[in-house]
Chains A and B, each alone.
Chain A
């Protein structure tokens, strides 16, 4: 069956030349978009149109376009990764939008994620948090060594659920406080649940939280909006674990 075609859409998009200049919204019309078009493909079509009209195309982040790399972002109609659950923007389809609708597209907005150009933000802050402790610094051996350590199914599942975080930043973008707690808690949790990561757990929790605070992310107020908008469905139960890990580590000091 042929996909429904949306005859006309109005795209209201944030345009910003570079990090130093002030940006503003621009409005474009786009016609005949099939419902099976992905959101990023729609932007590609719009960019073709802009190039043909001799205008600067809209800059946006993307890479794998299959929901696993964490590069795509976009705040669409007031929601991170747009109006669908448990997906990234590249997995969002135009059938989610109505005929004649005005779609507002904004970059992630957070002090720690400055806009580089148009819809692209600098997410280096996440890398800095990871560099503060999101790794295991001892040699844990190869696959046979890993398989030789018994780990309960529940722990393995929980660690894998936390490890599903792709670091896209939707949690920060959605949070009314621009808090990075969901990201940091996922990165702390997936290692804290495993024996290889346990060794450095205290140091990791302290250093990553300290870096997160230093980079200007807000304080978590447990609204739970992050887990709803997270494309990987990371639970805020991880935030409780991070709080536990951090408080236990600080008490030991």
Chain B
């Protein structure tokens, strides 16, 4: 087992599985967030937020989610460091533009930027709601962030940028996870890549529309 986890393919399996787990989480997150747009009284979203704060989810699933993030990040760092070391002398000129996509070559940078976004995002919502516990109306908290006079537009913009970065990360990550597990071949590759793009557009588009809706229409 130790030789499996230290092998290149073993480490990539861990990246894939943790990645797919986070991919699933994003869908749940987006569905809950979409409640923000369907009920302007906030009752629907508050009910959803309340449900997610149940002890079984908060103390059962949340640590698993954080674990998923941590594993994904740690293995990304290990793999990237090894990859950096594999080419001690760099090329003077390297033209990769016509052989691979930009997002596939910049997964670590994109992931890092998404992590910065997530840190800010946790400060906005997770810390006041779940750690300080002084929020009574979750809907108002979200709405205020995006509509507050001077800063509302800035945060709306930041969340849109965060969603775009996440979309680019998913555009390569989704199909790549299946490839690393070995669940791909000549036929399925095109299907998985297409599914990945569609998934990236749904997730990223959803997370772009919600702050824009709250800023301009709520």
Q: Which residue in B87, B96, B183, B185 is a CB contact (below 8 Å) of A225?
A: B96
Q: How far is the CA of A163 from the CA of B118 in the complex (A)?
A: 46
Which residues does B use to contact A, with CB under 8 Å? 3-4, 7-13, 79, 82-83, 85-96, 98-101, 104-105, 107, 172, 175-176, 179-186, 189
Some 26 contacts from A to B, beta carbons below 8 A apart, are: A25-B92, A78-B93, A109-B90, A112-B86, A217-B86, A219-B8, A219-B11, A219-B79, A219-B82, A222-B172, A223-B105, A223-B172, A224-B104, A225-B96, A228-B98, A228-B100, A236-B179, A236-B189, A237-B186, A240-B184, A241-B185, A242-B9, A243-B13, A243-B181, A247-B181, A247-B182
- In the complex, identify which listed stretch (A87-95, A139-147, A208-216) lies at the interface while the others stay far away: A208-216
Contacts between chains A and B (CB distance < 8 A), count: 138
Does A73 have its Cβ within 8 Å of any Cβ on chain B? no
**Distance (whole angstroms) from the CB of B100 to the closest CB of chain A:** 4
Q: With a CB–CB cut-off of 8 A, which chain B residues contact A243?
A: 9, 12-13, 179-182
Which residues does A use to contact B, with CB under 8 Å? 25, 75, 77-79, 104, 106, 109-112, 174, 176-179, 209-210, 212-213, 216-225, 228-229, 235-237, 239-247, 250, 253
A223 and B92 contact, Cβ closer than 8 Å, known pairs A178-B83, A244-B182, A247-B182: no
Q: Which residue in A104, A111, A174, A245 is a CB contact (below 8 Å) of B86?
A: A111
Q: With a CB–CB cut-off of 8 A, which chain A residues contact B8?
A: 179, 209, 212-213, 217, 219-220
Q: How far is the CA of A220 from the CA of B179 in the complex (A)?
A: 10
Q: With a CB–CB cut-off of 8 A, which chain A residues contact B12?
A: 219-220, 243
Q: How far is the CA of A235 from the CA of B104 in the complex (A)?
A: 17
**Distance (whole angstroms) from the CB of B27 to the closest CB of chain A:** 22
Q: With a CB–CB cut-off of 8 A, which chain B residues contact A253?
A: 4
Main secondary structure of the interface of A (DSSP, over half): mixed
Q: With a CB–CB cut-off of 8 A, which chain B residues contact A245?
A: 182
Q: With a CB–CB cut-off of 8 A, which chain A residues contact B96?
A: 78, 174, 176, 223, 225
Q: With a CB–CB cut-off of 8 A, which chain A residues contact B181?
A: 243, 247
Q: How far is the CA of A75 from the CA of B94 in the complex (A)?
A: 8
Q: Which residue in B83, B91, B172, B179 is a CB contact (below 8 Å) of A109?
A: B91
**Are B87 and A109 in touch, CB under 8 angstroms?**
yes
Q: How far is the CA of A25 from the CA of B91 in the complex (A)?
A: 12
| Besides A79-B99, A223-B99, 12 other A-B contacts (C-beta < 8 A) | A79-B95, A106-B91, A111-B87, A210-B7, A219-B11, A223-B101, A240-B179, A242-B9, A244-B183, A246-B9, A250-B4, A250-B7
**Are B100 and A224 in touch, CB under 8 angstroms?**
yes
Q: With a CB–CB cut-off of 8 A, which chain B residues contact A242?
A: 9, 182
Shortest Cβ distance from A224 into B: residue: B100
